[in-house]
Amino acid sequence: MRDARLETAPLLEPVPREAVRAFRKAAIARGDAPSGVAAVIVSVVVAVVMLGVAVIGLLLTRETGSPLGLLVVVIAVAVAVLVVRGLLNGAGWQRWARLDRFAQANDMRFTPVVDGTDQIGMIFDRGDDRTTSERMLLGEGWLDGRVETANYRYSITTGSGKDRRTRVYRWAYLVVQLDRHLPQLVLDAVQNDHRVLGIGSSNLPGSFASAQRLGLEGDFDRFFRLYVPEGYERDALYVLTADLMALLIDQAGTGAALDVEVVDDRMFFYASGHLDYGDPAVWQRLTTIVRTVGAKTLRQTVRYADDRIGDRAVDVVAPQGRRLRRGGITGATAVVLVAIAAWIALNLLLR
């Protein structure tokens, strides 16, 4: 298995305007990105509105002599100029063209925008308006082309009428394709927990039944809450050897911690929010995870078999091990309820 060398220079080098236009035309023709007509219309409308505001401000300045009108003119013109400059320069397409050149230099394939997703992890079956953006398929030099990373978003709408609210959730993910199907395992990183009044709760979009929580020796529990289907504790220990746990702590459990999920024949790393794929440091971290945790997990699981099936040659996990049982209440909700209860109790004591 050839180990590719990461070349980050294309991320920092501007792409000539004619090359950006050529990339944009080709990407739209392939269906890898929207035409951007709606964005152009919105930008033009914003620019026209700002120029109209500037004219009104100028008229107010003439009639009243107030400096406030002049300030309105300056702000409106500045906004209009920025919008028009962004429209002409195609800043978004300039970025995507750089990412495409980076991909070509590193045996990867770049896709700007994809509607929906074909992934199966815990973040992908929620909400509506699902969009995958800046997707990179890593080539043969990266675990033989088993790796994909992208930004992902979905929205959830609650209520109706005046109470209708839509919230957008943003994630970034890195996924490694494994050779064998495994029981679902979730490693919920502790350091990226949400905190209310000093109480931490998981940032993951769902919760899992507490009976499936498996404590491990050493420092691992300080960095991850491990969830394993009941009865599959020995299987989890087969996968999570001491050296793999050490790699997980070093690469995903500290700093900007990542949550980890093993589901079917895939291993996911999740980050809340979006990753800046134009940042060389992001790529250094992602490729280090691939070369360390990803490679070790592949080696560790290549011979895994679920003994409950009765035939080790069959690449299948028994139904009871394929998915974790979800909990009845999310960690974030529990923390909010505890915080509210504490606030009420404190107010009663202070009366």
| pLDDT tens per residue across span 39-85 | 444 444 555 666 665 566 566 666 665 566 666 556 765 665 554 44
Contacts of 110 (CB under 8 A, 6+ apart): 96, 99, 100, 102, 103, 134, 135, 136
Instruction: Decide which of 106, 141, 174 is a domain's last residue.
Output: 106
The answer on 295 and 149 residing in a single domain is: yes
The answer on 124 and 88 residing in a single domain is: no
pLDDT of residue 217: 81
Residues 332/201, Cβ–Cβ less than 8 Å: yes
The answer on 229 and 93 residing in a single domain is: no
pLDDT of residue 102: 98
pLDDT at 331 over 80: no
Q: How far is CA 170 from the centre of its chain?
A: 6
Question: Span 108-130, mean pLDDT?
Answer: 95
Question: Could you give the number of structural domains in the chain?
Answer: 2
Comparing 38-42, 59-63, 218-222, 297-301, the range with the smallest average pLDDT is 38-42
pLDDT at 144 over 60: yes
For the record, the structure tokens of 202 come out as: 């998981």
- Is residue 343 in a domain? no
- Is residue 206 in a domain? yes
Question: Span 265-274, mean pLDDT?
Answer: 97
Instruction: Decide which of 74, 106, 138 is a domain's last residue.
Output: 106
- Is residue 220 in a domain? yes
- Is residue 130 in a domain? yes
The answer on 56 and 118 residing in a single domain is: no
pLDDT confidence bin for 4, thresholds 50/70/90: confident
The answer on 137 and 17 residing in a single domain is: no
Residue with tokens 């700093």, as numbered in its chain:
255
Question: Span 266-284, mean pLDDT?
Answer: 97
The answer on 286 and 272 residing in a single domain is: yes
pLDDT of residue 43: 47
The answer on 288 and 166 residing in a single domain is: yes
The answer on 156 and 208 residing in a single domain is: yes
Cα distance between residue 351 and residue 125, in whole Å = 47
The answer on 152 and 211 residing in a single domain is: yes
Instruction: Decide which of 106, 133, 157 is a domain's last residue.
Output: 106
- Is residue 346 in a domain? no
Instruction: Please give the backbone phi and psi of residue 60, each rounded to the nearest 5 degrees, phi first.
Output: -65, -40
pTM tops 0.75: yes
The answer on 117 and 53 residing in a single domain is: no
Cα distance between residue 253 and residue 173, in whole Å = 15
Which residues, in sequence order, are bridge partners of residue 137? 109, 148
pLDDT of residue 40: 41
- Is residue 316 in a domain? yes
Contacts of 278 (CB under 8 A, 6+ apart): 11, 95, 98, 99
The answer on 122 and 101 residing in a single domain is: no
The answer on 281 and 255 residing in a single domain is: yes
Per the prediction, the chain carries an average pLDDT of 86
pLDDT at 89 over 50: no
- Is residue 69 in a domain? yes
Of the two residues 91 and 306, the one the predictor is more confident about is 306
> Would you tell me the crossing angle of helices 67-89 and 37-64 to the nearest 10 degrees?
160
- Is residue 340 in a domain? no
Half-sphere exposure of 273 (CA within 13 A, CB side): 7
Provide the residue range defining the domain that includes 238.
107-335
Tell me the range of 1-5, 42-46, 155-159, 291-295 where mean pLDDT is highest. Answer: 291-295
Amino acid at 184: Q
Comparing 58-62, 167-171, 175-179, 280-284, the range with the smallest average pLDDT is 58-62
pLDDT of residue 41: 42
